[in-house]
Amino acid sequence: MSENEILGTNTKDDESIVRECSFPSDEEFELVYERPYTLTGARFHYCPGCGHSTVHKILAEVVQELGIQNKVIGIAPVGCSVFAYDYLDFDMQEAAHGRASACATGVKRTNPDKYVFTYQGDGDLAAIGTAETIHTINRGENILILFVNNAVYGMTSGQMAPTTLPGMKTTTSPYGRDVNFAGFPMKMAELVSNLPGAFYVTRQAVHTSGAVRKAKKAIMNGFKYQELKKGTSFVEIISNCPSNWKMTPLQCNEFIETDMLKYFPLGDVKLPSREDLKGLEKKEGVVL
């Protein structure tokens, strides 16, 4: 064996290597993925494995595919959701903690031709924002509420949230959530589905590729249903929080399957009727 073979070096110059290689032309490539132009150039700073990055991406993809970048307005309050302004390249407004749906009500009523959504976590929507959430949906405000449920206060050190599972340890429930003391986790999708103003209610997740596709379809529907002006769309998305769960991203995904989804089962909770959807049957992207 020669010295070059032993060392793994190549005696050919770069130009001769390029001449021997056969590269396909641009016409032969098939584009399978590209970064949505509805995302800014900022890099996501979320903890490794956090589901917020995935939700941001599919939200941006939906806005791009619907061609509504200049027609959409998002409201994000306090918590990890507040960082959405750095990454989503369309109009966003900040709200006080828990007040996103109240702000969205004002935005939609003064801009009825815009697609309006909120982006909220479980501590925000289901704790300090419970009243705003319930009354917004009860009024049937024509908006989309995106609810990211990771069962913990993510930004503020991992305190117990309204959605924290029984027995789950947090910084304020170090021995696990005791339902006899702190009550039971709130199933927000089931709760709001009973309100007459709720038009579309679903719970999805982003821990697997298949789940991500379904979550994206749900977000797509939530935006398209605003054209019908028949009520509020509520899309809950089960996510994870590796830092506060004290787990690796892989362990988080397993925990979602073995624990989270037992208490928060995935699927549609309230669907519009075929009669309600008249006028959208031929709209691209709508999943009936």
pLDDT tens across 200-222, in order? 999 999 999 999 999 999 999 99
Q: Concatenate the DSSP letters of all residues of 184-228 into one string.
A: PPP-HHHHHHTSTTEEEEEEEE-SSHHHHHHHHHHHHHHHHGGGG
Whether 12 maps to a domain, the answer reads: no
Q: How far apart are CA 208 and CA 150, in angstroms?
A: 15
In the prediction, which pLDDT does 273 show? Answer: 92
Range of the domain at 264: 45-270
Of 26-40, 54-68, 248-262, 270-284, which range is least confident?
A: 270-284
Q: Is residue 236 part of a domain?
A: yes
Nearest 5 degrees, angle CA 199-CA 192-CA 117?
Answer: 60
Number of domains comprising the chain: 1
Q: What pLDDT is attached to residue 6?
A: 47
- Flag whether 222 is in a domain: yes
**CA proximity to 76, closest of 45, 59, 56, 100:** 100
For residue range 182-202, list pLDDT tens digits in order: 999 999 999 999 999 999 999
Whether 17 is covered by a domain: the verdict is no
Rounded Cα distance between 93 and 144, Å, is: 15
Question: What does DSSP assign to residue 39?
Answer: B
pLDDT of residue 211: 97
* Cα distance between residue 198 and residue 140, in whole Å: 6
Token pair 């830092």: residue: 243
Q: What CATH number should be reported for the domain holding residue 117?
A: 3.40.50.970
In-domain check, residue 3: no
Considering the domain boundaries, does residue 133 fall inside one?
yes
pLDDT average, residue stretch 89-112: 96
- Arithmetic mean of pLDDT, 55-60: 96
Can you tell me the distance from the alpha carbon of 271 to that of 244, in angstroms, rounded to the nearest whole number? 34
pTM metric for this prediction: 0.87
- Considering the domain boundaries, does residue 49 fall inside one? yes
- Nearest to 246, CA basis, from 171, 182, 196: 171
pLDDT greater than 90 at residue 148: yes
| Residue 34 placed within a domain | no
